[in-house]
Structure 1
Amino acid sequence: MYARYGDPRMKEFVSVEFDAIPELVSDSEFRSFVEAYISEGCFADDRAEDVVQGIADVRGRRCPYPVRRMNKMLTSLQQGERLLVLTDDPVAKIDIRHAVRANGDYLRCAAYIGNFDAFLIEKGRAHDGGVWS
């Protein structure tokens, strides 16, 4: 059974704490290279290519597709590699945070840019697509 908004079981959900690594990428750098990717279709900054090993651009897709796509792409990455997820689905931005935590991955950065959310997720322990696949 699924918990609905207002259901007392919703308090069981906990927020994800960010595992910020300042030397990896700052919030302003993250915003700038995501904005550059959106406007140019590629990363203008070479440093961004070192930070991101995969991109899941799921804007325009609705839940559960964004989380499933994220999990599928994470299975192809090695531990420690990072995935950039772009979504405009308001439900996905909640589900992504929970899936990251449940799968043992790390949410390194998150930002609301324009009309979509961007997440930088680092693959943690090896997993087979996670509990949200």
Structure 2
Amino acid sequence: MAQAEVVLDLKGLKCPLPVMRTRRHLRSCTAGTIILVETTDPLAVIDLPHFCQQEGHRLLESQPRAEGHAFLIEKSTAAEATTAPQI
């Protein structure tokens, strides 16, 4: 896997928490930030790629691991412009 700036250890969390925590973390990142998301949730292999596609982030890599799955995600500039402000 390529080098990540941040590692999100989401192992042990079940759907929908991996996507929700990834979304929350990416909101605080600048465009171009690369994060590594580690999860054991079997549905994450469907949910996180779908999340990236819907939100406009780039899924750089997706890799199975003995303890789950790892995703390398780059926050897109388009996602930064379309993210609604928190109230």
So what's the TM-score if we normalise by structure 2?
0.85
**1:53-80, Cα deviation, whole Å (9 max, x unpaired):** 2221110010010000000111111111
User: Runs of at least 4 residues of structure 1 off by over 6 A?
Assistant: none
Counterpart pick for 1:128 among 77, 83, 86: 83
Structure 1, unaligned runs of 5 or more: 1-29, 31-47
Identity of aligned residues (%): 35
**1:17-70, Cα deviation, whole Å (9 max, x unpaired):** xxxxxxxxxxxxx1xxxxxxxxxxxxxxxxx7xx31222111001001000000
Q: Which has the larger radius of gyration?
A: 1
Counterpart pick for 1:117 among 69, 78, 85: 69
Matches within 5 A, 1:1-133: 30=1, 51-124=3-76, 125=78, 126=80, 127-128=82-83
Question: RCO higher in 1 or 2 (8 Å CA, sep ≥ 6)?
Answer: 2
Task: Using the TM superposition, give the Cα deviation of residue 128 of structure 1 relative to its aligned residue in structure 2, in angstroms.
Answer: 2.8
Structure 2, unaligned runs of 5 or more: none
Structure with greater helix percent: 1
Give 1:54's aligned amino acid: V
* Root-mean-square deviation over aligned CA pairs: 1.5
Give 1:52's aligned amino acid: A
So what's the TM-score if we normalise by structure 1?
0.57
The 3-state SS of whatever aligns with 2:30 is coil
Asked if the contact 1:87–1:93 (Cα under 8 Å) also holds between the matched residues in 2, the reply is no
